[in-house]
Amino acid sequence: MFQKTLCTLAVLAALSASHAFAEKYTLRYKFRPGETVRWEVTHRSKVRTTVSGTTQTAETFSKSVKVWRVDKVLSDGSAVFEHSVESVDMRQKLTGRGEVRYNSLTDKKPPKGFEHLAESVGTPLSLITMNKQGEVVKRERKRKSMATQNKEGQMTIPLPKESVAVGEKWSFPYDVEVALDSGGIKRIKTLQTFTLTAVKTGVATIHVATQILSPVTDPAIEAKLIQRESSGDVRFDIKKGRIIGQQMDLDKGVVGFRGEASSMHYLTRFAEKLLPGQAATVASPPSRILRRR
């Protein structure tokens, strides 16, 4: 028994020592004055709702090019950049209606309901000052219509203050404001947790998960929060100091959000990949936007 205890203690000591001497990585965003950085952003969603025995399905596919044009880099490493959407190709289909399409590269006039989207493409949306950890220090919105968006202030995932080893975690707490059907706003506390799961050839893989901290017993509020609970992985180039790819998925439902016989199911995927320096042409999406796994 004594020898078994000594053996266990030795194993624990070895594990503790290996963790203490594990290689740590400093993750920081890095940008150069005058550079233009582009990402191709793809979003697929399929939302099925049932109310009073009637079921409707909304399917959406969008592929856009997100652009950050770096104006300057401050002495502390913070970057000042102009954020815009260079192009967008979008399809939307609702039960009982024809598919609606809009491609900013080929369509001179947007279809009804897409006017606001068309006005936002190709024009500066905001001027951002972001520090090396991804925190937005200052935001100057160029379009008044954008004022209600991005209230949490995140433009990208936050990075840890200290260097981290594979397996270590950091977190980012923030509040989400939910509009109540009765009027007013309810503030919900959430927590994003980030785990450095691997580092290979200079690329860090970071797993992202979101947790709702505030107790939620009302299905109507739960339905409005459901899109916040996606999880997935981010690939971060440590030397270049930027995200080169990510994918976030959500497959979740809620029952009773509008009476006992009601239900809602979300199936979504958000993906992003870094593009070369030149703008890319947005390709048309496949005819079938999403399949149940």
pLDDT digits (tens, 9 = 90+) for 74-115: 999 999 999 999 999 999 999 999 899 999 999 999 999 899
Tens digits of residue pLDDT in 226-277: 988 899 999 999 999 999 999 999 999 999 999 888 999 999 999 999 998 6
pLDDT value for 283:
38
Q: Which band of pLDDT confidence, cut at 50, 70 and 90, is reported for residue 149?
A: very low
Alpha-carbon span 16 to 10, nearest angstrom: 10
Q: How many domains does the chain have?
A: 1
Is 160 a member of any domain? yes
The domain of 246 spans 26-274
Is 93 a member of any domain? yes
Alpha-carbon span 281 to 8, nearest angstrom: 59
Is 66 a member of any domain? yes
8-state DSSP, 145: G
Mean pLDDT of 166-189: 92
Is 4 a member of any domain? no
The residues pairing with 65 across neighbouring beta strands, listed in sequence order, are 40, 87
Is 270 a member of any domain? yes
Share of the chain above pLDDT 90, in %: 73
The CATH code of the domain that includes 91 is: 2.30.230
Query: pTM of the full predicted structure?
Result: 0.84
Is 15 a member of any domain? no
The residues pairing with 4 across neighbouring beta strands, listed in sequence order, are none
Q: Which band of pLDDT confidence, cut at 50, 70 and 90, is reported for residue 173?
A: very high
Is 286 a member of any domain? no
Mean pLDDT of 59-74: 97
pLDDT value for 255:
95
Burial class (CB in 10 A: 0-12, 13-18, 19+), 75: exposed
More confident residue, 281 or 94: 94
More confident residue, 25 or 290: 25
Is 79 a member of any domain? yes
More confident residue, 14 or 147: 14
